[in-house]
Structure 1
Amino acid sequence: MTSRNGQTVLPILADTDSYDRNCSGMCFRRTNRKRTVRHITFLIVLLLAASSLPDACAQRSQRKISWVNPKIANVKGLEHKVLASKSLGHDVGYAVWTPPKYDADEEVRYPVVYFLHGAGGTEASDSGGFSSLVASGIRNGAFPEAICVFPNGGMSGYRGEVESMIIDELIPLIDRDYRTKAEASGRALAGFSMGGAGSVRLSILHPELFCAAGSWGGALSWRGSGEDSPLLPAARTSAKKLKSNKFALLTINGDQDRPEAFAPLNKILKPHEIPHKVVTLDDTKHNLGHYYERSADTMLAFLAKQLRGDNAAATAPKRTVRVLTIGNSFAGNARKYLKQIAADGGVDMVIGTANLGGCTLERHAALAKQSATDPANKPYTRVVGSKRSKLSLQEYLVADEWDYVTVQQMSALSFKPETYHPHIDELVAIIRELAPNAELLIHETWAYRPDSDLLKKWGMTQAEMHAGIVNAYGRVAKKFDAKFIPVGSAFNKYRTTEGRRVVVPDPGYDFDNPVHPQLPDQSNSLVVGWYWDTKGEQPKLRIDFKHANIAGCYLAGLVWYEALTGNDARQIEYTPRGIKEGDESFLREVAHSVSFSRHSEQAN
């Protein structure tokens, strides 16, 4: 490693993967399985050359690392600083964000979150995005007033000189220059990819300094299972100190992004009763934007609990619930936040998705019949970790020990009892034959918004559609002695509560001459409603009067959570981004009230 005018030239692996590399072992570019003799000879030459080098990183091409990057996001409270690092032998940049009330009271001391960027990033990369997330959390009371620090880790993997710079120079500097809580209970680490792995690494190697570490898309090792990671014996050595500091770990990985990345570490932490919450995100690859969108609230809630000293809430899930959904996009809406809600309540929710867009009970039954005679007919996709497989309904039902199996009708037919039979009868027979220990649940869907073209076509009101839905699903539940998941009733209770009615169409909006990106007022809507379709050459104003928006998906998830666990949805603290401030408590109350009412009716 050499230094040139404040820039270090570091050997970088030529690799087509999107993962960051710490280059702790031999790393070569992936190639096709069919190799020619010439390829094999070339690899042998590389191996022989590598054997004479002290580190496999010598196989990397040269990439310049900019250590000082003053152009940062224009976020209030965010500043760029420069440290003359003795460890690195040159200047290194870092960014610091202070909360809005920092200058208001000079007696108050603040916890600090150190956010570590991924490979190829700098101190400027994530400072604006992450500090904005924290600022939003502070505004809505979900996060304590805290300072955020963004070091420049280059391509180091947060090892060697960079590790020394952060531990021996930057942290003492921050504690000296800012009013921090200069103790383990006042420091947390978080990061993405290389930064996620670095957060876990630094917290394990320096257990006296931190109370929490959160990793997005990190791993013990980018090659193999990580069973041989040198961090594992270090974790055993640090376990006593970690526990005394009430340390907790959160690792979030996509189902297509090494979901088992920290499994070996979990095996070590668990016997020592050191909390390690593992979250796997559906349909998620190695993309920070997707991690932000799908789990920013989970990460912030975890860090907030630790920095506030509420370690009990960060313990690992105590039970597992397995549910297979047989439905369509409405089931997809209901499960959008279900995993996060369940994890917040101490439950690991395993969700199977035999869902097809717009699928009716008749089509599900027909597909099952076809699969019975044609083994190649596999219409459903199952995702387990990073593996995807196509399954028939019969195969899906025996793929796991399901606790529950849910069924529903397509929304446009949901209020018509005559459309359920004989198709649901056929599906229930298959379910009870192949998953005899699973409990059947009826997913009660919701009525369309009042401005639906279909309601106008049918000459029906929203209230009439809801009444028809309740009647149709009620008959089915009674026939099969099955319980309800009363999502439609929750939507109706919310919609009929005083002050919660959505006024459509918006009388103040010019629908004849809409101007992009302006939208009509859709306050209190639980469905997507009006939106701008920007896929074509010109934006077009369209309406989705069926599918749930963020608030609707959250409400549906809360109702499912109570139905599947028996736990009280009012105790959930997780709230997705985008929920109007103050609405989260009401949504939880609505979910509990309809669930409790339904449980009471069935008990009688």
Structure 2
Amino acid sequence: MRSLRVLLLLLTTVTLSWSAPTVSAQREKRAISWVNPQITDMEGLEHKVLDSKSLGHDVGYAVWTPASYSDRGSRRYPVVYFLHGAGGTEASDSGGFSSRIASSIRKGKFPEAICVFPNGGMSGYRGEVESMIIDELIPMIDREYATKAEASGRVLAGFSMGGAGSVRLSLLHPELFCAAGSWGGALSRQGKGEDSPLLPAAKSSASSLKKNNFALLTINGDQDHPEGFSPLNKVLSSLTIPHKVVTLKDTQHNLGHYYDRSADTMIAFLAERLRGEKAHHDSMRTVRVLTIGNSFAENACKYLKNIAADGGVELVIGTANLGGCTLEKHAKLAKQSATDPDNKPYPFSKAGERRKLSLQDYLVADQWDYVTVQQMSALSFKPETFHPHIDQLVEIIRELAPNAKILIHQTWAYRPDSPLLKQWGMSQDEMHAGILQAYESVAKQFDAAIIPVGSAFHEVRTSPGRQVVVPDPNYDFDNPVHPQRPDQTNSLVAGWYWDVADDREPKLKLDFKHANEAGCYLAGLVWYESLTGNDAREITYAPHAVKEADREFLREVAHSVSRTRSPEPDQVR
């Protein structure tokens, strides 16, 4: 029997692949026992039989009710649905799991709740079994028991096939559950889960999941394919849906091992959700960065939080930015604030609170991991404009945020048709070369890493087929017709746009400085890899305005310029 049990557990490897042919093959190879009344003799635990229309035959299930249930009065109880692993039945884990819940209730660590144990056969909790649970069993439990019949009163948990099944059912039926917990489950045992249908399902269910304050907990042993959930974790991060990832050392694919090592973690998580306590993004690494800059820093950070969330990192961004602000002005404002506490030029917002801060206030407002500095774009290629102002700013940063690493935000050169380039008698390439030299000099002086956004822009602009043709030879600039604009294919900056105001005719104008959607995305990718050390090529998020055909190329460029200039962040968890 012991050998057979081990064999049954190992068969879970097959059932978790989400492959219908594999499950069909399993059904052909073994008979499923659908009704198993021999359950643990335990107070409150009963065996029941459902005449299932979905399955076309009887199916067993077990229900455990707490000691207070008989004297419940008008009280309603939340429900935990526990799904067994491959080779198990409704009887397999009902006694063990119920006894742990009962013990936690007695200790005040779990709300009084009902536990239900369906029989999933070898289904992977798909097809007819999925219909049986969702369309028959849950409604029947809500009719026959005093349940809290809403999403906030239902959670799923399970082991192996059941762990994966709990994740699957919760994402496909987000209106029914507020949490799912998985022990030893995975999206795939054969691949890495990138092609799982649960990834688009999570995206389409996002609004319902958020409405129900849904959270996910996955617990896997380090030899039990924890990477199988990585693609889903990235999707949930991008959607800001709380999920916690726990990886245990030396845990075999055995429910007893998971109970011994992590029962308290799972039960505490389910208790938290049933009590309506706020879930946290425990799986996400948090990085805190304060920017001292201007609109170019705002451009770079426009999509940075979304990009970082897609990579499993929560970005906290402080913005000591003022439009067109030079290093000289930042240093001057800091000097004034040192003697005048009312001099607070930088907007600050947190948890709905809006106020103004001085640079000194901002530097102590959080435990910043990084502080970035940059020169105003029109001066960025002139090394003499950096000093002594950047020296003064670095001194203040090191005094008030001594644990923060200083990063130099390398800005980008203007478009070739910029009137300022013409005025300076300078080409885009020459401006870029000057930017490189100036920023390299200050980075070396302060032993600081560079965020190479300017280099990324230059690599895109000089790649074959990526040059911007300016001016557009097919556009009549002398007689422009609103709302038509010149062809700006491949541009990374805003370029030509129509200035429309109520009191005058539309006027065609040129923004040769600020990044457009593609430029902001590229800059954000460079910042992401520079701040986290994560590979920008693995990011799946992209703003809708960035063409599908351009996204992979921009990620490749961001990675290629960032990999040799990383600020050597701590290893990402």
2:418 maps to 1:458: no
Contact 1:184 1:245 in 2 (8 A): no
Matched residue of 1:484: which SS?
Answer: strand
Match of 1:318 among 263, 284, 291: 284
* 1:402 alignment partner in structure 2: 368
Q: Note the C-alpha offset of 1:534.
A: 1.2
The question of 1:581 aligning with 2:548 is answered: yes
1:364 Cα deviation after fit: 0.2
1:562 maps to 529
Q: Aligned to 1:506, what secondary structure does the other structure show?
A: coil
**Residue 369 of structure 1: aligned partner:** 335
How many angstroms apart in 1 are the aligned matches of 2:300 and 2:324? 15
1:8-37 alpha-carbon deviations (Å, 9 max, x no partner): xxxxxxxxxxxxxxxxxxxxxxxxxxxxxx
- Contact residue 207 and residue 241 of structure 1 kept, 8 A: no
SS in 1 for 2:497: strand
Question: By how many angstroms is 1:385 displaced?
Answer: 2.2
Cα distance change of structure 1 residues 362 and 184 upon mapping to structure 2, 3 Å threshold: farther
Q: Deviations over 1:249-301 (max 9, x none)?
A: 88999xxxxxxx99x957xx466769xxxxxxxxxxxxxxxxxxxxxx98997
In 2, distance between residues paired with 1:403 and 1:361? 21
Q: Distance in 1 between matches of 2:133 and 2:293?
A: 46
Displacement of 1:239? 4.4
If the length of structure 2 is used for normalisation, what is the TM-score? Answer: 0.55
Q: Per-residue CA shift, 1:139-195, capped at 9, x if unaligned?
A: xxxxxxxxxxxxxxxxxxxxxxxxxxxxxxxxxxxxxxxx999869999xxxxxxxx
1:529 aligns with 2:529: no
The aligned residue for residue 564 of structure 2 is 597
Tell me the secondary structure at the aligned position of residue 538 of structure 1: strand
- Counting only pairs closer than 5 Å after superposition, residues 461-540 of structure 1 correspond to structure 2 as 461-536=427-502, 537-540=504-507
Which residue of structure 2 aligns with residue 392 of structure 1?
358
Aligned-partner Cα distance in 2 for 1:524–1:184: 53
User: CA RMSD for the aligned pairs?
Assistant: 4.1
Q: CA deviation at 1:382?
A: 1.6
Q: 2:393 aligns with which of 411, 421, 427?
A: 427
Secondary structure at 2:328 match in 1: helix
Shift of 1:450: 0.2
User: d(CA) in 2 for partners of 1:506 and 1:182?
Assistant: 59
Which ranges of structure 2 fall in alignment gaps of 5 or more residues? 1-126, 136-148, 157-168, 188-197, 221-233, 244-280, 569-573
Per the TM alignment, residue 486 of structure 1 is displaced from its structure 2 partner at its CA by 0.3
Name the CA distance, whole Å, in 1 between partners of 2:213 and 2:540. Answer: 27
Distance 1:331 1:298, change over 3 A: farther
> Which residue does the alignment assign to 1:157?
none
Amino acid at match of 1:211: L
Count of residue correspondences:
352
Q: Distance in 2 between matches of 1:186 and 1:341?
A: 35
Instruction: Tell me the amino acid that sits aligned with residue 560 of structure 1.
Output: W
Post-superposition offset of 1:381: 1.4
Q: Which amino acid aligns with 2:452?
A: P
Contact map agreement 2:202 2:236 (CA 8 A) in 1: no
CA offset at residue 533 of structure 1? Answer: 1.1
Match of 2:302 in 1: 336
CA deviation string 1:71-105 (max 9, x = no partner): xxxxxxxxxxxxxxxxxxxxxxxxxxxxxxxxxxx
Residues 210 and 185 (structure 1 numbering): CA distance in 2 closer, same or farther, change over 3 Å? farther
Which amino acid in the other structure matches residue 434 of structure 1?
A: L
In the TM superposition, what whole-angstrom CA distance separates every residue of 1:346-376 from its partner, at most 9, and x where no partner exists? 0000000000000000000000001001000
Given the superposition, is the C-alpha separation of residues 207 and 242 from structure 1 closer, same or farther in structure 2, using an over 3 Å criterion?
A: farther
In structure 2, the CA distance between the partners of 1:272 and 1:585, relative to structure 1 (3 Å rule), is closer
Q: Deviation digits for residues 511-543 of structure 1, max 9, x if unmatched?
A: 111111111100000000001111243111111
Q: 1:434-459 CA deviation, whole Å, 9 max, x = no partner?
A: 00000000000000000001001111
Q: Distance in 1 between matches of 2:493 and 2:481?
A: 22
Q: Is the 8 A contact 1:317 1:343 kept in 2?
A: no
1:467–1:241 distance in 2 versus 1, CA, 3 Å: closer
Amino acid at match of 1:364: H
Counterpart AA for 2:535: D
Contact 2:180 2:217 in 1 (8 A): no
Cα pair distance change 1:210/1:465, threshold 3 Å: same
Asked if the contact 2:495/2:512 (under 8 Å) is kept, the reply is yes
Q: Name the structure 2 match of 1:160.
A: none
The structure-2 alpha-carbon separation of the partners of 1:242 and 1:390, relative to structure 1 and needing over 3 Å to count, comes to farther
Correspondence for 1:413: 379
Whole-angstrom distance in 2 between the partners of 1:443 and 1:570: 21
Bigger mean CA offset, 244-253 vs 330-339: 244-253
Residue 382 of structure 1 pairs with residue 342 of structure 2: no
Q: What is the 5 A alignment of 1:127-526?
A: 203-204=151-152, 210-211=170-171, 235=178, 239=180, 269=215, 317-526=283-492
Question: Counterparts of 2:461 and 2:357 in 1: how far apart (Å)?
Answer: 38
Q: For the residues of structure 1 that align with 2:347 and 2:411, how far apart are their CA atoms?
A: 23
Judge conservation of contact 1:408–1:445 (CA < 8 Å) in 2: yes
Residue 445 of structure 1 aligns to a residue whose secondary structure is: coil
Contact 2:346 2:357 in 1 (8 A): yes
How far apart, in 2, do the equivalents of 1:303 and 1:477 lie?
Answer: 35
Structure 1 stretches of 5 or more lacking a match?
A: 1-178, 188-200, 216-230, 254-260, 275-296, 307-314
Of the two, which has the highest radius of gyration?
A: 2
Does the 8 Å contact 2:369/2:404 carry over to 1? Answer: yes
TM-score by length of 1: 0.52
Counterpart in the other structure of 1:134: none
Mean Cα displacement is larger for which, 201-210 or 240-249? 240-249
Identical counterparts, % of pairs: 63
Equivalent position of 1:545 in the other structure: 512
Quote how far apart the aligned CAs of 1:558 are. 0.4
- Following superposition, the deviation at residue 389 of structure 1 comes to 2.1
Structure-2 change in CA distance of 1:270 and 1:519 (3 Å): same
Task: Tell whether the 8 Å contact from 2:413 to 2:431 is kept in structure 1 after alignment.
Answer: yes
Change (3 A) 1:211 1:355: same
Q: Distance in 1 between matches of 2:375 and 2:238?
A: 36
1:106 corresponds to: none
Q: Distance in 1 between matches of 2:336 and 2:172?
A: 52
